[in-house]
Amino acid sequence: MRDLASRLPSSPGFWRSPLRGPRFTSVLGLVLLVGVPVLFVTGLLSYAAYNPGLSPVNDKTPDKGILGFYLFSWPTDPTWLYRLTQGVHVTLGLALIPVLLAKLWSVVPRLFTLPPVRSLAHALERISLLLLVGGALFEFVTGVLNVQLDYVFPGSFYPLHFYGAWVFFAAFLAHAALKTPAAVRTVRSMRDARRRHPDAADQAADQTADQAADDLVAPAPDAPTVSRRGALWEVGGGSLLLLATSAGRSFDGPLRSTALLAPHGGAEPGGGPNGFQINKTAAYAGIDPAETGEEAWRLVVAGRTGTVRLARADLLRMRQHGAALPIACVEGWSTADQAWRGVRLRDLAALVGFDGDPPDVFVESLQRAGSFRHGALRANQVADPRSLLALSVNGGTLSPDHGYPARIIVPAAPGVLNTKWVARMTFGGLA
């Protein structure tokens, strides 16, 4: 019987890696202590940047209740704001995967401890750990699937990732409050030990002495195949590799080709003035070239004083303005500034009776299906002189894949609000 028991994962003797122990776990834990709040904050910023409080069409989480307490008007400056916040969110999230996995590996024996529940307090602690581990895995998996596989969660990624983030972060805060002091003490004592005993053998003895009491330490460890430092370097190396192969997705030119992990399944943008990344092609969005021709296409602008219908030639006769702005997608990729040219959104608002302060606008495209076929922009975004209904880019006519005949471009906003193939704009029509 005893023999069998020691072969089950519920027995401490089952776990034999000499790496496990408070030192390994503490170092990884402290890295996550810094990294996870950055992911949480940049995630909440991304959520706010979608203008979910503005209109039901922007809001994928109508039941958010008080979780939307912090929502604010996303600014239009600096123009690279969303490039930065979302680039950090996605790239850091990917780079932390090895750290998260190593951390979970380091504490996995605790999953099997018997009896599973010793007291009410212990039960509560275990439930919070379930939310912590489940929440962490859920957030990382949904995030990776969304950026790598592109829309495996049509429409539903946002609520899943949003509510999951709150569950994960609440459990994370409780866990951090309980464990950080001990982790800091452990890491300090490692540093002190290195100072006292530069000799590796002494350090090992030291380690055995003060780890013996911890349940993570294997009572009968196998011979080490890698030192703790070596293992931490491997984890860090894995993170750096992920960083190096994904950070390029936030840049143009040769750097983008270093983003080996960024999905390349999309359309090849080709060269020329429109030679930058395409999210969804006109064909994918079901845009029929017949509906975008000079004869067929009209922009309908609605507002206080009624409705105006404009051909592309009418728009080209209006005062043209330029703006150098990037496209920054929620998936973490972004482009450098492109030179857009077209009509100011606030000039279009003026056509339908909003001369002074332009209001919010609801933008609809020719696209008939898909959750990004329409979007709402806030008054501060409409008022910005760099916010355009773009007709050309980098000196060339907008290509069909980049939104011909006309598309929205707004400084600092997430790509999803840069609606392509615009057909109708309703100013002040959001109430």
Ligand X SMILES: Nc1nc2c(c(=O)[nH]1)N[C@H]1C(S)=C(S)[C@@H](COP(=O)(O)O)O[C@H]1N2
Binding-site ranges for ligand X (CB under 6 A): 277-280, 285, 327, 329, 365, 367, 370, 372-373, 402, 415-416, 418-421
Minimum CB separation of residue 397 from ligand X in Å reads 14
**Residue 372 binding result from Mo ion, ligand X, none, given CB thresholds of 5 to 8 Å by partner type:** ligand X
The yes or no reply on residue 232 touching Mo ion (CB under 5 A) is no
Q: Please say which residue, 25 or 277, places its beta carbon nearer to ligand X.
A: 277
Minimum CB separation of residue 374 from ligand X in Å reads 8
Minimum CB separation of residue 336 from ligand X in Å reads 12
Number of residues that bind Mo ion (CB under 5 A): 3
Minimum CB separation of residue 315 from Mo ion in Å reads 25
Q: Please say which residue, 165 or 327, places its beta carbon nearer to ligand X.
A: 327
The yes or no reply on residue 310 touching Mo ion (CB under 5 A) is no
Minimum CB separation of residue 397 from Mo ion in Å reads 23
Q: Could you tell me which stretch among 17-25, 74-82, 266-274, 324-332 binds Mo ion (CB under 5 A)?
A: 324-332
The yes or no reply on residue 329 touching Mo ion (CB under 5 A) is yes
Minimum CB separation of residue 2 from ligand X in Å reads 60
**Residue 418 binding result from Mo ion, ligand X, none, given CB thresholds of 5 to 8 Å by partner type:** ligand X
Q: Please say which residue, 347 or 364, places its beta carbon nearer to ligand X.
A: 364
Residue nearest to Mo ion (CB): 329
- Report whether 360 contacts 378 (CB < 8 A): yes
Among 415, 420, 422, 426, binds Mo ion (CB under 5 A): 415
Q: Please say which residue, 186 or 250, places its beta carbon nearer to ligand X.
A: 250
In the 3-class helix/strand/coil scheme, how is the chain assigned residue by residue? CHHHHHCCCCCHHHCCCCCCCHHHHHHHHHHHHHHHHHHHHHHHHHHHHCCCCCCCCCCCCCCCHHHHCCCCCCCCCCCCHHHHHHHHHHHHHHHCHHHHHHHHHHHHHHHHCCCCCCCHHHHHHHHHHHHHHHHHHHHHHHHHHHHHHHCCCCCCHHHHHHHHHHHHHHHHHHHHHHHHHHHHHHHHHHHHHHHHCCCHHHHHHHHHHHHCCCCCCCCCCCCCCCCHHHHHHHHHHHHHHHHHHHHHHHCCHHHHHHCCCCCCCCCCCCCCCCCCCCCCCCCCCCCCHHHCCCCCCCEEEEECCEEEEECHHHHHHCCCEEEEECCECCCCCECCCEEEEEEEHHHHHHHCCCCCCCCCEEEEECCCCCCCCEEEECHHHHHCCCCEEEEEECCEECCHHHCCCCEEECCCCCHHHCCCCEEEEEECCCC
| CA 270 to mean position of chain CA atoms | 27
Minimum CB separation of residue 167 from ligand X in Å reads 26
Minimum CB separation of residue 359 from ligand X in Å reads 22
Cis amide leading into 115 (omega within 30)? yes
**Residue 327 binding result from Mo ion, ligand X, none, given CB thresholds of 5 to 8 Å by partner type:** ligand X
Amino acid at 390: A
Q: Please say which residue, 115 or 154, places its beta carbon nearer to ligand X.
A: 154
The yes or no reply on residue 143 touching Mo ion (CB under 5 A) is no
The yes or no reply on residue 231 touching Mo ion (CB under 5 A) is no
- Report whether 331 contacts 89 (CB < 8 A): no
Q: Could you tell me which stretch among 191-199, 289-297, 305-313, 325-333 binds Mo ion (CB under 5 A)?
A: 325-333
Q: Please say which residue, 210 or 252, places its beta carbon nearer to ligand X.
A: 252
Residue nearest to ligand X (CB): 415
Question: By the criterion CB under 5 A, which residues form the site for Mo ion?
Answer: 329, 415-416
